[in-house]
Structure 1
Amino acid sequence: MRVFFFLLISYMSMAQEIIPLYPDGVPGLKVKDVPEKMTGANITNVTVPTLAIYKPQKQTSNAAVVICPGGGYAVLAYKKEGENLARWFSERGMIAVVLKYRLPQREYFTDAGIRPLQDAQSAIAFVKSHAKEWGIKDVGIMGFSAGGHLAATTSTLFDNPVGEIKRSSEEVRPDFSLLIYPVISLDDNITHEGSKKNLLGPNFNEQELKRYSPEKNITEKTPPVFLVSTTDDWVVPENSIAYYLAAKRHKVPAEMHIYEKGGHGYALTKDNRGPVEKWPEALEAWLKLHKWL
C-alpha cells in the first residue's frame, strides 16, 4: 500500500496543465463547434489546438521540448507519441509540452496545409515566452512519423513564419530537434505518400514540394538534430539519411541511429522488437552530451 501511494503521488506530481494555443481565437477556422473525435488513443477533428504542459517534480534541465505526435497528418497518436513521452522527459527533470495540432483538414480551415506548421511555430513561441518564468534557456521540438515531418519543417522554415500572427524567426526557431522514424522528404522515391497527400492536398506544385521537403531547406542555422529509424520501416530510413547528410553538409550537429528491425510506431513500447527499444537511452545520452539533460 505504501508503494502504491508513493507511485500515485509521483504520478500526480507531474503537474499537467492544458491550455488553448490560441486563447483569442483560432486563425483560419471556417466552422465552429466541430466535435473532436477520438478513436482508441488517436485524435482527429482538432479545431482547438492545445498545449499540455508537464513540469517535473524536480527540474534539473534548462531546456524544454515541444512534442508533436504522428499519424500521417490524418490522426494524432496523442497518448503513445505524446503523453507517454512527456512523462519520460518529466521523469528526467525536463519540462515537456505536448502539442495537439490541427490536421490539414480542408473542410475546417482556410490554407489548411499551413495550419500544422503554424501550430508548431506558435507552440515554440509560447514556450520561449515563458523561458524566464520556467527557468529554461533552450526549447527543442520532437516529432514521430508525420509529426517528425512537422518537427523538421519547424526546424527549417523558421525564417518566414506562416499564418496571420506576426512573429520573428527567433521566436519560432527550435534550439534542437528530435526526429523519431520521421517522414522527411516529399520526393516520390522515398516519401510516405499518405502523409504527402494529406498535407498538400490534391493540387500542389514543385515549389510546395521543395518547401515541405525539409532536407532541401537545411542551412547552417538549422538546429542540432537526433534521428532514429529502422531498415524495415515502411517510412523508409532514406528519409532520416537525407536529413542527416544535408545537416552534415551544412555543419549542423547531427546524430543518427538506424536499427535493422523494429518497423514503425514503436515509440516507448517494449514488445520484443529488439535493439531498437534502446533508442531512448541513446537519446538521453545525446541530450546529456549537449547539456540539455
Structure 2
Amino acid sequence: MMLNRRTLLGGSLASLAIVAGSRRSESQTPLADSCSTGKSGWNRPDDIHPDDSLFLWPDDALDIPDGLAEEIVQRSDDPLASDRIAQNIARPGLDIFRPDVPNGAAVIIAPGGGYRYCVIDKEGYELARFLRDRGTTVYVLFYRLPADGWANGKDVPLADAQRAVRLVRSRAELDRINPARVAFTGFSAGGHVAASLLTRFDTGVYDPVDSADAAPARPDALVAIYPVVSMDPAIAHIGSRDRLIGAKPDAALTALYSPEQNVRKDMPPLFLLHAEDDDVVPVANSKRLHEATSSIGTPVEAHYFEKGGHGFGLMKTAGLPVAIWPELLWSWMGAQKLL
C-alpha cells in the first residue's frame, strides 16, 4: 500500500526517520510534541497539522509514473524547528487549514523546493497557521514535480495550480469561502508556479475531468515570495530551470516559461517579496516581474529587504526587519478586499 502524505505526516519522528534516513534517534522527542520556543535563529510556533486533505484529481485521471512513491524527509536536527519536505509527489493534493470562524477568504499556497520537492513547514504550514488563525481558509498545494517522469512534465505544476483554484472554488459552499476571494501564493519555485498562473491561468494544459473544471482558474490576487521567475540564464535559478524545461532550452521555450515575458492586462493584482541578499534566486527575478507588471498598469506591490537570504519563510526571520512581511501581506490582502 502506498503511503500518502497525511499518513506520513501523522506519524512520529521515528517513523519519519525510517522513511527519510533522518539522523535523529528514535528515542528523541517527536517534533509534534516539542515546545514552541525557537533557537539557532529559528522562529518555531506550536506544532501545526492540517484539518483535512484531498487529492486534486479523480483516481483515474493521472497516469502515475512507475515506481513513483511519495516520501517525507525531515531535514532539521533541531527538535524545536521542523523542516520537512515532500518528494516524489505521486498524488498531488491540498492540505486544508480551517479557521473556527471563516472570514470568506481562501489562500492556496504552493511551497518551494527547486522543482525537486515541496517544503512542508517553512513554506507551507507556517503561513497556513498564520492565516488560519486570522480567519482565512488555507489550502497547501503539493504539486507534481516536472522531472519525476510525468508526461508533459514541464506543464504539470501549472496544471495542478489551475486545478487547485478550480477545485477550491467548486467547494466554496462546503468550505464556507467566497469563490470571488481566492488568492494564490507561491514561495521560490512555488513562486514560479504562482507567476505562471499569473500569466497563463487560462492556458489549456490539461483536459477537463469533472464539473469542477468549469470554474475559472484565474485567482483574485497573487503573491510571489522570493520567486523563481525568469528562465533567462543570466538570473535563472538553474536547478529549477533544468528540471522544468531542460538545461538547453531554445529561445521560444525560455520565453514561454518566463512569466515576466508574458504579462497581460487581465492579470490579478500582484504582491512581491524578496531579500536583496538572496544568493539562491536573485532579486532580479522579482524586479523584472515588478517592472513588467507595472509597465502594463496591473496593480503590483513589492517589498525588498536588505537582509533575509533565501528560504526564510516565517521560521527564519528572527531579528531581521523582514520578519514583518506576514503583516504586510495581511494588510495588502485587506486592501484587495479579500478579507
Report if the CA contact (8 A) 2:256-2:262 is conserved: yes
Question: Quick check: 1:209 aligned with 2:285?
Answer: no
Distance 1:185 1:13 in 2: 33
Q: 1:281 aligns with which of 327, 331, 334?
A: 327
SS of 2:223's partner is: strand
Superposed CA offset, 1:131-171 (max 9, x none): 24423122111000000010110111022231233687962
Distance 1:170 1:200 in 2: 28
Superposed CA offset, 1:207-231 (max 9, x none): 2211110111111111101110011
Distance 1:200 1:179 in 2: 20
SS of 1:172's partner is: coil
TM-score, normalised by the number of residues in structure 1: 0.89
**Alpha-carbon offset, residue 26 of structure 1:** 4.2
**Alpha-carbon offset, residue 58 of structure 1:** 1.1
Identify which range, 198-207 or 235-244, moves more after superposition.
198-207
Question: Quick check: 1:52 aligned with 2:86?
Answer: no
Identify which range, 21-30 or 212-221, moves more after superposition.
21-30
SS of 1:171's partner is: coil
Tell me how many residue pairs correspond in the alignment.
Answer: 281
Q: 1:120 aligns with which of 158, 161, 172?
A: 161
Aligned to 2:294: 248
Distance 1:253 1:84 in 2: 27
* 1:283 aligned partner, one-letter code: L
Superposed CA offset, 1:245-271 (max 9, x none): 111111111100000011011100155
Aligned to 2:337: 291
Report if the CA contact (8 A) 2:106-2:177 is conserved: no
Q: 2:70 aligns with which of 30, 36, 41?
A: 36
SS of 1:262's partner is: coil
Question: Quick check: 1:84 aligned with 2:129?
Answer: no
* 1:284 aligned partner, one-letter code: W
* 2:123 aligned partner, one-letter code: E
Report if the CA contact (8 A) 2:166-2:213 is conserved: no
Question: Quick check: 1:100 aligned with 2:142?
Answer: yes
Report if the CA contact (8 A) 2:241-2:247 is conserved: no
Distance 1:147 1:255 in 2: 19
Distance 2:130 2:226 in 1: 18
Q: Assess, with a 3 A threshold, how the Cα gap between structure 1 residues 262 and 14 changes in structure 2: closer, same or farther.
A: closer
Distance 2:263 2:278 in 1: 24
* 1:122 aligned partner, one-letter code: R
* 2:127 aligned partner, one-letter code: L
* Structure 2, unaligned runs of 5 or more: 1-45, 75-83
Distance 2:225 2:169 in 1: 23
Report if the CA contact (8 A) 2:232-2:254 is conserved: yes
* 2:105 aligned partner, one-letter code: A
Report if the CA contact (8 A) 1:143-1:151 is conserved: yes
* 1:117 aligned partner, one-letter code: L
Aligned to 1:266: 312
* 1:92 aligned partner, one-letter code: R
Matches within 5 A, 1:220-235: 220-234=265-279, 235=281
Aligned to 2:16: none
Q: Assess, with a 3 A threshold, how the Cα gap between structure 1 residues 17 and 218 changes in structure 2: closer, same or farther.
A: same
* Structure 1, unaligned runs of 5 or more: 1-10
Aligned to 2:191: 148
Report if the CA contact (8 A) 1:65-1:141 is conserved: yes
Superposed CA offset, 1:234-253 (max 9, x none): 21111111111111111111
Distance 2:133 2:58 in 1: 29
**Alpha-carbon offset, residue 12 of structure 1:** 10
Q: Assess, with a 3 A threshold, how the Cα gap between structure 1 residues 253 and 210 changes in structure 2: closer, same or farther.
A: same
Aligned to 1:185: 230
